Each structure stands twice: as structure tokens, then as C-alpha cells.
A and B are shown apart, each in its own frame.
Chain A
């Protein structure tokens, strides 16, 4: 169980900043377009 055995608790500073920016942008996009995305998903599901 490689995942369970790993004890490392470090993260590179750059990666932490990049992840924060990506999540912030994704969250912002979801807030702006969330309703339209849900509509598109429902349309696709309806057609299927």
C-alpha cells in the first residue's frame, strides 16, 4: 500500500501557488457559468 505508507508532508511552494490559482479560476468560472453548464449537461442527458 504505497499510498498509505507515504509519510511525506511537504509540498513545493510553486506547486501550492499554482494549485491555489487553478482552483480559484475554476471556482470563479463555475460561479459565472455554473447555471449554463448545468443546462448543457441536462440537455445532453436528455438527448441520451
Chain B
């Protein structure tokens, strides 16, 4: 039976390998196949349920359902209300941050500011780690990537690169704090 440390390293290696595959698809076609984002999202939700973070899983499930509401103008207000209600049953500050990030990422997708694959990948990571703070290095790397993209007047950027690099930076910061 592997020790907890080696099991953790194996899980991180699998996560990074998955992100690398997503980056390759993104760089080639600016799309990531649904199975590469939906299956990990479901697995992360199951993992979070097994670890006791059902509130976060319920919020993600509700947001997925809200995105199918026929009246587009009501989606964000309803999602806002659902998120506020979810915050009241969050249970811990970590879950609160995670819920806020999940809502922000979903809302960015809903208004068309972010791709669905990017949103699902970030929500998967937040579900898996139950930590919204990993969003910070991701958006910072994304900001740098965006600035670099603006110089040659490139309209769009492959955001999975920022997600993967931000994830590596976050894992580094968590394991080697100053």
C-alpha cells in the first residue's frame, strides 16, 4: 500500500498530466473535448462528497441546472440567490472561498467572458482541493498571458495554459511556503 505522501504525489502527477492533455487540445483547436472536462468534474464531485464538502457539490450541480433555464436574463440573478443561500450553509471559510470562486467562474462563462472548458477545469480543481485560493495564481498567470497576447494584438488566448501554470504555482506555494 503506498504511503500517504507517495499517494499524494501520484494524484498530483495525474492532475498535471490531465491538465497537460487539456493544454495540448486547447493549443491545437482552442477546444477541449467534453469527456476531458466532464468526467474529471464528476470524479472531483464524488471525491468532494466523500470528503464531506457536499455543500460545494450541491452549488455546482445547481449552477449546471441554472445554465439551462430558458430565460437568459434570470440565470445570473437566480444563481446569485442560490450562491448566497449556499454560503449560509458553507460550514467553513475554505468552502466559502471555494463557493465564491465557483460562482465567479460560472458567471464569467454565462456572460460569455470565458470558455466552458476553462470554467469546468477550474471548477474541477476547486472541487478537488476545496480551496478557492488556487484561483488567484491562475488568474494572475492568465493576466500576464493576456498582456503578452495584447502586444501582438492577439484577440484570444488559450486559457488552459494559465490554468496549468497557475496550478503548478499554487502547488509549489502550498508545499514550499516562505
Contact = CB atoms under 8 A, between A and B. Distances in A.
Answer yes or no: do A and B interact.
yes
Interface of A: 1-17, 19-21, 23-24, 27
Given A4-B38, A7-B34, A20 B146 contact: yes
- Describe A's contact surface by its main secondary structure: helix
B159 A16 contact: yes
B98 interface: no
Contacts of B25: 9
Contacts of A15: 108, 113-114, 146
B31 A8 contact: yes
Contacts of B116: 3-8
Interface of B: 22, 25-26, 30-34, 37-38, 41, 63-64, 67-68, 106, 108-109, 113-120, 135-136, 139-140, 142-147, 149-150, 154-160, 162
- Describe B's contact surface by its main secondary structure: helix
A13 B109 contact: no
Nearest to B161: A9
Given A1-B68, A3-B64, A19-B139, A13 B34 contact: no
B106 A10 contact: no
A7 B117 contact: yes
B37 to A, nearest CB: 8
A12 B64 contact: no
B28 to A, nearest CB: 10
